[in-house]
Structure 1
Amino acid sequence: MSKEEKASKVESLSDRRFQQMADENRELKGYVAEVMQRLRQNERLFSRMFDLESQVLKSTDPEDLCFTLLRGLRSNFELDFVRFWLDRSSFIGGHKLDALSERDLVWVENDEIRQMGISRKQAWLMQLSPEHEFDWLDSQDRHLGSIALLTLGDLDNPFGVLGVGSIDRDRFAPDQSSDFLQHLAQVVGLTLEHAAAREHLARLSVTDTLTGSQNRRFLQPHSHQPLSQWFGSETEVACIYADVDRFKSLNERLGDDAGDRVLGMVSKAMRQYVRSNDPLIRMGGDEFVLLLPGCSQEKACDIAARAVNCVAESELLEDEKVTVSIGVAYSPAGKDPAVKQLVAKADQAMYVAKALGGNRVEIAESEQGDSDGS
């Protein structure tokens, strides 16, 4: 082989080697660019997740937490589906979640999560099709291509499932990494448990354990507020103040157990004629305050009379008649006294009822210029 041929061959080999290196360099640059893009995507993802976690941790109760989480997941993570399935028999079943729609929340029965097999791991990724459906989804969810199911709580005793879905079949394909979703499941589960525990403790602190009504501590933060700050402007408010007649004598003669039964019966008698969210407060001893926003004086007097009759007709204690005295005070729309002022007026009317023999209703005198509400 001549020198010229050898030189040409070396040059050709060199060119091919340079070309190979250039191709490898382009592939490496493409790989690095792809990795950097994924890193930036993950960085944005975790940044959004951190922001959502911060909002969730600020939630004051389970309802607020669930609502914040649903809204945040939908708006920040481009999801086509977000839903809670919560076990009605678990601790979460005793908490108010009325702000969540039926599309946001579905209650499942005791042990249903375990029976579905979801509790075997923290996160499940599923691709959906007519041949491969998930039983908990509705007909309106058939557009989904994939879904992730996040088990909430201890896997041995889960209290719920959070489902997130997409129309993209590859978004939650089984071969995708689930580390991020497992982290989300743990955060949501723990924060929901803590929020429920905080709400339970807060509820206990303002609840009378004997009767289930609120206690005086519940009223204290509102006491100096005008009625409008608690119940809204231009809202008429009635107040019923009840006291068991001769309760001290009854308690001394029949004992504390009989006295406790009487208090429970009186609380039930006052509660049965009003809305569940109307504040009923045991002021201490045998005194109760019932606040009725949006209630006329005439209606409040009717409720009070029903409560008086209900207590008087009860046969709770053998050979012992139990009665109550009730005072009613009313603040028409447009007037805005402090809560404690309305309660004090009802209290005074109650003492008038007692002075007149008890087992009756008396109405507080209206201030000059007040409507009588009838």
Structure 2
Amino acid sequence: MRSAIDSEALIADNEQLRAELQDLLQQAHINQSIIERHQAFDLKLIGASEFRELIEVMLTVMPGVFSLETVTLSLIDGDYAIQRILRDLQIGINEFPKLLFLKQALAFPDDDLTRADEKPRLGPYVAALHGPLFPHYEPVSVAVLPLVRQHRLLGYLALGSAYGERFTRSLATDFIERLATIAAVCLENVINNERLKHIGLTDPLTGVNNRRYIEQRMQEEVARSQRDRSALSCLFIDIDHFKRVNDQFGHQSGDDVLREVAARIKKELRLSDALGRFGGEEFVVLLTHATREDAARIAERIRAGVCSRGVMIEGSRDPLKITASIGAAALTPPDRSRPAAEVKQAMLKAADQALYQAKEAGRNRVMLAAGD
């Protein structure tokens, strides 16, 4: 009798062990699946070589991989340098509503998130603390990951969940710290890549776009205008008697004049417009969604702005009076039957011819090309 009871107990114990083993195997499979999913996500992060691609992975792919309600990325950009680069590279900030920009590091009580050794902060959502990181959605619990590279805080990757137990202060942060490190390295890499692109498309003297950029952008805008049947205009601007400045005051003074004129032109433009130094003392302005009348009005405003006050240069007691001649051409809308590259060249040529007419007519004036 005793032997039978022992056998039944052993069988019951064996079945319980089998059930526990099955649970462990099932959990191991789940854990393996999670690890593989996370590794695949890490590879996507590391493989992103462009800013737009990385932001897409962080803000669109990450919530699905980690079962989160929201993920935001906040970059510290107090001098607007990153935003200017993105704008010049035609990366629309409005494309990414969860991409945020902060002027400075956030102030957390009793914390200093600018320290390179700072750990991620996990816990319940507090509007006063986390509101700037979650402007469109209020999660229940959050994980704020400071993105630090070489003792410099780049920004914050903020994870938000609708479940209070998802992120708690007692939760182990090893995995989240690893994620923050990978994200920071990838972010620094793509920002540096975009900076290099920007340098390659920027005139080093004036800080505006160079000829390569403006011609490339103009062809893209011509193609877009052909599709949308929208107006497009360009201005050819030349500083009057610029050679005299170089001859009389030297090339350093000439450089000062170029920088000042570029700044005055840029002041009169919209964010959607583009300014490029075409060579020497010549600038080209691309005006999107601008008719011939719009181009004439903006060109006159630029002309008046350039000559509104003198430019102080070394070697001159009084401000040097500077004027500019401008030629304008418009496409309303561009001819669809011709290649965009050909239409671009025709528009540039028309604006250049109008500029020549402005020079011939006495300088310091705006001339419009004869027709669209």
Compute the TM-score of the two structures, normalised by the length of structure 2. Answer: 0.81
- Is residue 75 of structure 1 aligned with residue 39 of structure 2? no
State whether structure 2 residue 265 is matched by structure 1 residue 265: no
Distance in 1, Cα, partners of 2:135 & 2:251: 58
Cα distance, 1:231–1:152 mapped onto 2, change above 3 Å: farther
How many residues in Structure 1 have an aligned counterpart in Structure 2?
351
Q: What is the distance in 2 between the residues matched to 1:53 and 1:230?
A: 39
Residues in 2 aligned to 1:139 and 1:308: alpha-carbon distance in whole angstroms: 42
Letter in 2 for 1:157: R
Structure 1 27/338 Cα, relative in aligned 2: closer, same or farther at 3 Å? Answer: farther
Q: Is the 8 A contact 1:151 1:160 kept in 2?
A: yes
Q: Deviations over 1:243-292 (max 9, x none)?
A: 11121222121112211121122212222222023111101110000011
Give the direction of change, closer, same or farther, for the CA distance of 1:292–1:246 in structure 2 (3 Å limit): same
How far has the Cα of 1:239 moved from its partner?
0.9
The correspondence for 1:66, drawn from 44, 55, 59, is: 55
Query: Quick check: 1:357 aligned with 2:362?
Result: yes
Corresponding letter in the other structure for 2:165: D
Q: Name the residue aligned to 1:100.
A: 96
Which deviates more, 180-189 or 220-229? 220-229
Among 28, 33, 37, which residue is 1:44 paired with? 33
- Aligned identity (percent) is 25
Q: By how many angstroms is 1:300 displaced? A: 0.8
Q: What is the alpha-carbon distance in structure 1 between the residues aligned to residue 363 and residue 290 of structure 2? A: 24
Distance between the aligned counterparts of 2:135 and 2:369, measured in 1? 58
Distance 1:277 1:55, change over 3 A: farther
How far, CA to CA, are the matches of 1:329 and 1:246 in structure 2? 23
> Please, which of 118, 123, 143 is the counterpart of residue 120 of structure 2?
123
Is residue 339 of structure 2 the alignment partner of residue 345 of structure 1? no
Q: Is the CA contact (8 Å cut-off) linking 2:325 and 2:365 kept in structure 1? A: yes
Gaps of 5+ in 1: 1-7
Q: 1:21 to 1:170 in 2, by over 3 A?
A: farther
Provide the aligned C-alpha RMSD in A: 3.2
In structure 2, C-alpha distance between the alignment counterparts of 1:189 and 1:110, rounded to whole Å? 15
CA distance in 2 between partners of 1:242 and 1:143 (Å): 53
d(CA) in 2 for partners of 1:53 and 1:29? 35
**Equivalent pair of 2:226/2:335 in contact (CA under 8 Å):** no
User: Which piece of structure 1 moves more, 337-346 or 61-70?
Assistant: 61-70
For 2:248, give the aligned amino acid: R
Question: Which segment is superposed worse, 172-181 or 107-116?
Answer: 107-116
Match of 2:323 in 1: 323
Matches within 5 A, 1:5-24: 8-9=1-2, 11-12=3-4, 15-16=5-6, 18-24=7-13
Deviation at 1:52, TM superposition (A): 3.4
Q: Give, as a single letter, the amino acid of the residue that structure 1 aligns with 2:346.
A: Q
Per the alignment, do residues 112 and 85 of structure 1 end up closer, same or farther by CA in structure 2, a change over 3 Å counting? farther
> 1:157–1:31: structure 2 CA closer, same or farther, 3 Å change rule?
farther
In structure 2, C-alpha distance between the alignment counterparts of 1:312 and 1:139, rounded to whole Å: 44
CA distance, structure 2, for counterparts of residue 140 and residue 331 of structure 1? 40
- 1:169 corresponds to: 164
How far is the alpha carbon of 1:51 from its aligned partner?
A: 4.0
2:105–2:155 contact (8 Å) kept in structure 1: no
1:17-49 per-position Cα deviation (integer Å, ceiling 9, x unaligned):
x34433443343333333332332233323333
Task: Give the C-alpha shift of residue 305 in structure 1.
Answer: 1.6
Aligned to 1:3: none
Shift of 1:306: 2.0
1:88 aligns with 2:83: no
Partner deviation per Cα, 1:115-162 (whole Å, 9 max, x = no partner): 634554443433x38xx8872247986661x33222212484322222
Amino acid at match of 1:100: F
SS in 1 for 2:195: helix
Q: Match for residue 335 of structure 1?
A: 335
Of residues 173, 176, 181 in structure 1, which corresponds to 2:176? 181
**1:183-332 to 2 correspondence within 5 Å?**
183-222=178-217, 227-229=222-224, 232-317=227-312, 318=318, 320-332=320-332
- TM-score between the two structures when normalised by the length of structure 1: 0.81
Range moving further from structure 2, 200-209 or 162-171: 162-171
Give CA deviations for 1:224-244 in whole Å, capped at 9, x if unaligned. Answer: 668124785312111100111
Larger radius of gyration: 1
